[in-house]
Each structure stands twice: as structure tokens, then as C-alpha cells.
Chain A
Amino acid sequence: MEEEKGKHEDKMEAPGTFVLSIIFLAAFIVIWFAHFKWLIEIWGVR
């Protein structure tokens, strides 16, 4: 029981950086797919 309680109190040390990393990942995915769009629509690669 005590062990379980300890687990709940185990907080993330750098939650702000975690959120920043999610933003980075989202930007990565958006830019990556934007390139797919270029590949298909602008250069006509299929």
C-alpha cells in the first residue's frame, strides 16, 4: 500500500520540457507531412 502511495507521489521532474518536446514532435510531424504534400502535389510524384 505504501509502495503504491509512493508511486502516486512520484512527480515528473521537468513537466514543462515534456510539453515542449510534444510541441517539437507536433512540428516535426506537420513539417514532414507538408513535404509529402510537396512531393505529391507540386512535383507530381506518385
Chain B
Amino acid sequence: MDYRICSFTGLKIHKTAEDLIKWNVVTAILFLALGGFMALLVALTRWPSVHYLGPANYYRFLTLHGFDALLLWILFFEVALVHFTSAVLLNTRVVAPFSAWIAYALMLVGAVFVNIVTFAGKADVLFTSYVPLKANGVYYLGVIIFAVGALTAFGNFFANIIQARRDKAYKHTLPLGTYGLAAASIIGVVTLAHGAVIMIPVFFWSIDLIKYIDPATYRLIFWGLGHSSQQINVCAMVAMWYMAAAFVLGAKPVNEKLSRTAFVLYILFINVASEHHLLVDPVLSNWHKIVNTGYMMHLAVLASMIHAFAIPASMEVALRNKGYTKGLFDWLKNAPWGNPAFSATFLSIIGFGFLGGITGVIFGTEQFNIIRHNTFAITGHFHGTVVSGTTTAFMGGTYLLIPYIFRRELVLPKLATIQPYLYAIGVAMFAISMMAAGSYGVPRRHWDITFSNAIFSFSFDPSIDIFLSMMGVGALLAVLGGVIFIIVSLGSIVFGKKTS
């Protein structure tokens, strides 16, 4: 077997695992670059004084932005974490390398199919692709191929764990990082099963082999895929938080059993809570909505609250053990804020909690949802979770993987130091501005909020112009932070000084 010992962590790294992580991380970053570029175009269009794109291109690039940034960047990175937490963290090997590479190839082929057909203008259906909006069959085929690849990758994760157990690579239970990815993989399998149930019939519908798809059934099952896939992200992000705290500070969970229980809460309740997307949908009964979003959702939120306090607490304990014990916040003052892996992790926790978490609970309440549904506030909320939370955490993860897996030093270290702050401030600014504009009723997704050719005229409160302009400035800052991340990460991978 071809192994090496990591000079930073002491972990035994299987060559195939290393290669798989490298390819998945680089592919993820390239799709982040593409999705980020689309984000810039979309944000410049929602900025009223710029209003850059025409309607066709706006919806086309919004579809691509959703697919590339929300699905491809995040899932390719998660598959890198799948290999890292199973093969590397457990000091074992990739059991089925051929299957792992097939998984990567399928995901890439699916991703390319979707990008090409959308760029060609044959799939302007947005991320949700709500029936009866119909895209070219290649779009749905691409989604299915990508999903099969991701499912195969999650299968590889479980195979590696079984092998590690046989090799006695771990004694009693899985390390918390691996445990978190196990939760992500279980949710992943459930999510992709929903995807298969709905996307395969829709593919046949798109090529006229099936005549009718019930839109209400589509919406319900789509969110079993669409929202649950975000729960894979949440689990992987939280696992990344635990790993970053452990690698950077040597932090140990303050109560490991509690943290594990919180991951189990995600598995049990977070998928059911995905019904909050349908709170204003007349098809579902109130009983259904209340049980799901009044009870189930809060059990999943409880899990996030446990993690969001357990991880800073573990950081505090680790820093206090290093001697920073003066007062309440000496540990915080002396934390390694210049290390981008740490700062990105901490900013991710704050952003996810304050921006995404609080607003998620509020907008997921039936009575509040009725005034916020389909407004720009919802877009602000999920940029608080997925961008401020997951993307920032994965950026921090990349800064760790560059020395550990790519065996390179960071190029432009000063830029790398400021990057997480620039990105987090930009994202916070545009997410808060979106929520403020949405509070005045500004719709999400809509190209023309002046409703210029509508039969009835309508104008919003003039203050929305300030919020939408602030959103534009925040988006520019975030894009600048994103560009710096791509330059530093890809630059380090290609030109960085070798570490060993």
C-alpha cells in the first residue's frame, strides 16, 4: 500500500485518498469561481441603479448560480471531506478506488451536462425547476447522473468505515469529524432517494414519455431533495467546525456524547423540517404544516444550537489551557485571528448562528412565513446559512487541506489573512440588506421589481433602494473576498512552496 505520514497531523494518508481529495477540492473551487461569477452578474442586476442583465440572461445565470454555487462547489468539497474523514482521519485506505473515481467522473459529467444545457438557454427553470416549467431532457439527465455519482461517493464513505473497523483503525466509536460526515452521508442517501423518486419521472416527462407530472407532488418531493441537500451541508459544515477547532487549537469536544446526540437529531428531524418551503402552499393541511415546522424543525434547530455553543466552548477551554485565562474574553482576544483556517471557522459559526439561524427559525414559523414567503428576505436568510456558514467554513477547510493534503504553503499569506474577514463582512452586508428589502415585500428572483408592464401599477417604499444598493456593495465585497480565496487557494496548490 502506498501511504505517507502527514508531518503536521501525524495521520497516515493513503495515496489514492490524497488524489481523490485533491481532484474533488480543485473541482469544487473551479465551480465556486463559476458560481461566484454568476452571483456577481445576478447581484448587479438586482441592484436597481445598475440592473445589468436582460430578463433571459438573468434567469439563465440565476439558474447557473444556484446549481454551481449551491450544489457543485459544496458537494464536490463534501466528497473531498468524505474521503478525508473516512480514509485519512481513520488511518485507513480507500477500499474501492475504482468506484470512488467513477463517482467523481459521474458527478463531473452530470455537472458539465447541466452547465452546458443551461448556458445554451435550454434550461431557464431556476434551481427549483418547478413543474410545469420544462427544461431540456439533458438538464434532468445531468442532475440524475450527478446524484448517482454523489450517492456512489457516500457509499464509498461507508465502505471505508467498514474497512477501518476491520483494520481496527479505531477502537470504540468514530472520531467526531467522521461521525458528522456519517450523519451527512445518511442524510445524503435519503436526499438522493427523493431526487431519484422525482427527477427520473420528470426526465421522462421532459422527453414526452410521461404526459403529466402533478406540480404539487413535484414541489413536495423536490424539497425532500432540495432542502435535505442543505442538511448534508449543515452536517458537513459542523463536522468541519469540529475538525478545524481540533487541528488549529487542539480543542476537544466539551461533551462528546452531547455533540453526537446533536448529529442524531439532524438525522431524525432535519429532513422532515424541509416542509417549511411549503408553508404557504395550499395543497398541504395546516395540521401537517404545524407538526412539521412547529415541532420537528425546532428539534433540528436544537441540534444546531448545541453545536454552535459546544464548538466555541471547546475552543475556549483549549485556549484557557494555553494560559489565556484572564477575565471572560482573554481567550477570544488571543485566539489565532491571523490564521485564515481559524478566522474562517469562527466567522462561519457567527454568521450561521446570527444571520442564518435566527432568521431561519423566524421565517420557518407559519405565522411569520406568511409575510416573508417568496420575498428577498428568504434569499437573505439562506445566504446567511449556505454562504456565510457553509462556504466560509469550507474556505477555512481549504486553508487546512492545502498544507495537509496538497503539501503546499499558502501563497500571498497576508491576503489569505484578510480574505475571510472581507468575505464574511461582504456576505453579512448583502444578506442583511436582502432581509431588510424583503421586509418591505421586495420579491425574490424577480427581474423587474418596478413591474413596468403590469396592468396595475405598484411601487415599493423608497427606502428599498438604499437596502438594494447596500446589497450591491456587499455583494461586490463578497465577490472580492471570493476572488482572493480562489487566487490564494489555486495559487497555493499550483505555485505554493512544497512543505515536505
Contacts and interface: CB of A to CB of B under 8 A. Distances in A.
Contacts of B317: 13-14
Interface in A27-41: 27-28, 31-32, 35, 38-39
Contacts, number: 49
Interface string B301-333: 000000011001110110010000000110110
A41 B368 CA distance: 13
Contact of A16 (B328, B353, B368): B328
A1 interface: no
B367 interface: yes
B354 A15 contact: no
A17 B306 CA distance: 12
B312 A20 contact: yes
State the main secondary structure of chain A at its contact with B: helix
Interface in B272-317: 308-309, 312-314, 316-317
Contact of B312 (A17, A28, A32, A45): A17
B329 A16 contact: yes
Interface in A4-25: 13-17, 19-21, 24
B337 to A, nearest CB: 15
A33 to B, nearest CB: 10
Report, as a range, how many residues of chain B touch the other chain: 20 to 34
Contacts of A19: 328-329
Nearest to B308: A24
Q: Please classify how large the interface on chain A is, using the bins under 10, 10 to 19, 20 to 34, 35 or more.
A: 10 to 19
Contacts of A14: 254, 312-314, 316-317, 320
Contact of A13 (B313, B328, B353, B361): B313
Contacts of A15: 328
Contacts of B331: 16
Contacts of B362: 31-32, 35
Given A24-B354, A28-B358, A17 B368 contact: no
B115 interface: no
B151 to A, nearest CB: 36
Nearest to B359: A31
Contacts of A32: 358, 362
B417 interface: no
A9 B15 CA distance: 50
A20 B346 CA distance: 13
Given A31-B358, A31-B359, A38-B439, A16 B316 contact: yes
B371 interface: yes
A38 B371 contact: yes
Contacts of A38: 371, 439
B445 to A, nearest CB: 21
Contact of A39 (B313, B353, B358, B371): B371
A19 B312 CA distance: 11
B123 to A, nearest CB: 36
Given A16-B329, A24-B354, A31-B358, A39 B254 contact: no
13 contacts: A14-B316, A16-B329, A17-B309, A19-B329, A20-B309, A20-B312, A27-B354, A28-B358, A31-B358, A32-B362, A38-B371, A39-B371, A45-B371
Ranked 5 nearest A-B pairs via Cβ: A14-B313, A14-B316, A17-B313, A16-B328, A17-B312
Given A13-B313, A16-B329, A28-B361, 10 more contacts: A14-B313, A15-B328, A16-B316, A16-B332, A17-B313, A24-B354, A35-B362, A35-B368, A39-B367, A42-B439
